[in-house]
Amino acid sequence: MTIRNITSVQIIIAYGAELGIDVDLLLQGSGLVSSQLTAHDEQVEDKQELHVLKNLMMNSTSPFKVGMELGSRYHLTSYGIMGYALLASSTPRKAIELGLRFLDLTYVYSKIELIEINQNLSLRFSCDIAGELGKLILARDMMGAAMIQREVFESGYLPINLQFTSPQPPDLSLDALQQLLGAEIQFDANFNGIAWVAKQMDLPLVKANAATAKICELQCSQLLQQKQNWKPIEKQVKDTLLHLGLTSSMQDIADYLSRTTRTLHRQLKQEQTSWRQVRDEVRIGIAEELLSNPMKLDEIAERLGFSDGANFSHSFKRCRNITPSQHRKQSKNN
């Protein structure tokens, strides 16, 4: 269970009202009541907001269009102190890194990854939610992120390119959205995400303020800590490993989670697991995906932070009771 502020639900309800959808219809089955919508400090579960989004989808004809239009309603002010932290960041790169670090303070359901290849930088989005609801959420999350970056970077200062792998829906008013966003929107692209030229990411931001950024980041850390208290420690460690990188040490993870290694060890032990088990589970889970590609075992081992191929094979067998080669052979036969 993840807790989030009710602001996003308020945005969804307001947008639904524009479409002529009754409030009670949007809230039906979510466990929320209309009286909660006026309380700006109200907290809701992520599954409750997801249910409201599902009701919105069920009462509209084009999930992708609805997602794009809904995403355009999210602004820096929708994110409270985190919005100010982004605005005060020194460079676009720092703003993006901060946003990813405090992603749990946002309203996204999508997974977001920062990729840099040669001179190109991109934020890539993926959504595990199936069907039309997943399309709506992916479009909303991407458009919302683009709107925030437009406000942080300022229109025209840093060109934004929004890309979707899907074809353009026939009922989508692309010109209006591009004008609103101040950016190009492309379809039939190679990935879902936002792209820039990498060198633009290190230009100074106009509203950068180191003192403000430091204060806001501290408050974001406190809010994140409060929110993470709802998650099992094992889940926090896994999420942090994926964010900081698989070569991160236990000290790195403990520092990020504002704990000592001794406290982290004790908390994991209380959940009947350990740092080694959690780290290996994350790495082996990714290894299973990589083994479906024609990559050498040594290359996979290096990518996952193992000292060599033999160490990787030993860890894989300990976790899965078969060797990586045997797993790859079984996967091909299935």
Q: What is the DSSP string of 217-232?
A: HHHHHHHHHHHHTTS-
Q: What is the C-alpha R_g of the chain?
A: 21
> In this model, does residue 168 exceed pLDDT 70?
yes
161: β partners: 184, 195
* DSSP annotation string for 13-49: HHHHHHTT--HHHHHTTTT--GGGGG-TT-EEEHHHH
In this structure, the strands spanning 184-186 and 161-163 are parallel
What's the pLDDT band for 14 if we cut at 50, 70, 90?
very high
b/e burial code for range 16-26 (CB count within 10 A of at least 16 → b): beeeebeeeeb
pLDDT bucket at 184, cuts 50 / 70 / 90: confident
What pLDDT score does 274 carry? 92
Token code pair at residue 184: 């190009």
| pLDDT of amino acid 51 | 95
pLDDT band at 35 (very low <50, low <70, confident <90, very high): confident
pLDDT at res. 156: 57
Q: CB of 124 within 8 A of CB of 189?
A: no
Percent of the chain with pLDDT over 90: 37
| Rounded Cα gap, residues 262 and 259, in angstroms | 8
Give the pLDDT confidence of 208-250 residue by residue, as tens digits.
999 999 999 889 888 887 776 656 788 888 888 888 888 889 9
Which burial class, exposed, middle or buried, applies to 44 when counting CB atoms under 10 A from its CB (0-12, 13-18, 19+)?
A: buried
Q: What is the mean pLDDT of residues 160-188?
A: 85
Beta strands in the chain (DSSP E): 3-5, 43-45, 111-117, 120-126, 161-163, 184-186, 193-197
Residue spans per domain, the chain: 1-60, 62-216, 231-334
- What's the pLDDT band for 157 if we cut at 50, 70, 90? low
Of 2 and 237, which is predicted with more confidence?
237
The pLDDT of residue 110: 94
Q: Where are the beta strands (DSSP E) in 84-190?
A: 111-117, 120-126, 161-163, 184-186
Write the burial class of residue 297 (CB in 10 Å: 0-12 exposed, 13-18 middle, 19+ buried): buried
Burial of residue 123, with CB atoms counted within 10 A of its CB: 0-12 exposed, 13-18 middle, 19 or more buried: buried
Mean pLDDT confidence for 15-41: 91
* Number of neighbours of residue 129 by Cβ within 10 angstroms: 16
Residue 173: which residues within 8 A CB-CB, separation 6 or more? none
Predicted confidence at residue 11, as pLDDT, reads 96
Contacts of 141 (CB under 8 A, 6+ apart): 71, 108, 109, 110, 112, 125, 127
| CATH class as words, domain 231-334 | mainly alpha
Asked if 202 contacts 78 with a C-beta cutoff of 8 angstroms, the reply is no
Contacts of 118 (CB under 8 A, 6+ apart): 198
| Per-residue model confidence (pLDDT) at position 155 | 54
Tokens of 282: 């994350």
Q: What is the pLDDT of residues 137-156, one digit of tens each?
A: 999 999 999 999 888 887 55
What digits encode the pLDDT tens for the residues 52-65?
999 999 999 889 99
Amino acid at residue number 241:
L
User: In this predicted model, what pLDDT tens digit does every residue of 283-309 receive, in sequence order?
Assistant: 888 888 788 877 888 888 888 888 888
Q: Could you tell me which residue, 139 or 44, shows the higher pLDDT?
A: 139
Average pLDDT, the chain: 87
